[in-house]
Amino acid sequence: MKERLADVTESSGQTRAQTEEITRRIQGANEQMSALSSAMDDISGNAQQITKIAKAIEDIAFQTNILSLNASVEAARAGAAGKGFAVVANEVKQLAAKSAEAAKSATNMVNNTKAIIQTGVELTADTAGSLRAISDVSDQINTISDQLAAAVQDCNIYYFEEPNTPAFYNNKYVKDNVKMPLAHGERVFGRWEYIRYFLDNSIQVIQPDLGNAGGITETKRICDMAYTFDVGVQVHTCATHLLTPPSVQLEACIPNFVIHEQHMRSLNSANMELTTKIILPEKGYLPVTDDIGLGNEWSEKALASEDQITLN
202/184 Cα distance (integer angstroms): 9
103 or 11, higher pLDDT = 103
Half-sphere exposure of 267 (CA within 13 A, CB side): 4
Question: What's the average model confidence in pLDDT over 13-29?
Answer: 61
At 235-264, the pLDDT tens digits run 998 788 999 999 999 999 999 999 998 888
The yes-or-no verdict on residue 3 having pLDDT over 60 is no
Cα–Cα nearest to 122, from 134, 110, 114, 112: 114
| C-alpha–C-alpha distance, residues 303 and 276, integer Å | 11
Pairing of strands 160-161, 182-184: parallel
pLDDT at 102 over 90: no
In this predicted structure, the answer to whether residue 5 has a pLDDT above a threshold of 50 is no
Percent of the chain predicted with pLDDT > 70: 56
More confident residue, 90 or 49: 49
Reference 170, options 182, 152, 158, 179; nearest CA is 182
pLDDT of residue 23: 59
Domains for the chain: give ranges and CATH numbers: 2-153 (1.10.287.1490), 157-301 (3.20.20.120)
Tell me the residue length of the chain.
312
Question: Would you say residue 2 has pLDDT above 60?
Answer: no
pLDDT tens figures, 61-88: 667 766 666 666 666 666 655 556 656 6
Among 97-106, 157-166, 282-291, 299-308, where is mean pLDDT lowest?
97-106
121-143 average pLDDT score: 66
**pLDDT value at 280 more than 50:** yes
Per-residue pLDDT for 11 more than 60? no
Rounded CA gap, 226 and 201, in Å? 11
What's the pTM?
0.53
Comparing 262 with 312, the larger pLDDT belongs to: 262
**Averaged pLDDT, 92-101:** 67
| b/e sequence 270-284, b meaning 16+ C-beta within 10 Å | ebbebbebebeeeee
Spatial CB neighbours of 34, under 8 Å, sequence gap ≥ 6: none
Q: Which pLDDT score, from 0 to 100, does residue 233 have?
A: 96
The average confidence (pLDDT) of the chain is 76
Please give the single-letter amino acid code of residue 182. Answer: L
Q: Sheet containing 160-161: which strands, arranged edge to edge? A: 160-161, 182-184, 205-206, 232-233
According to DSSP, residue 70 is labeled H
pLDDT for 206 equals 94
The span from the CA of 201 to the CA of 161, in Å, is 15
Rounded average pLDDT over 83-97: 62
Selection from 188, 193, 198, 192 nearest residue 228 by Cα: 198
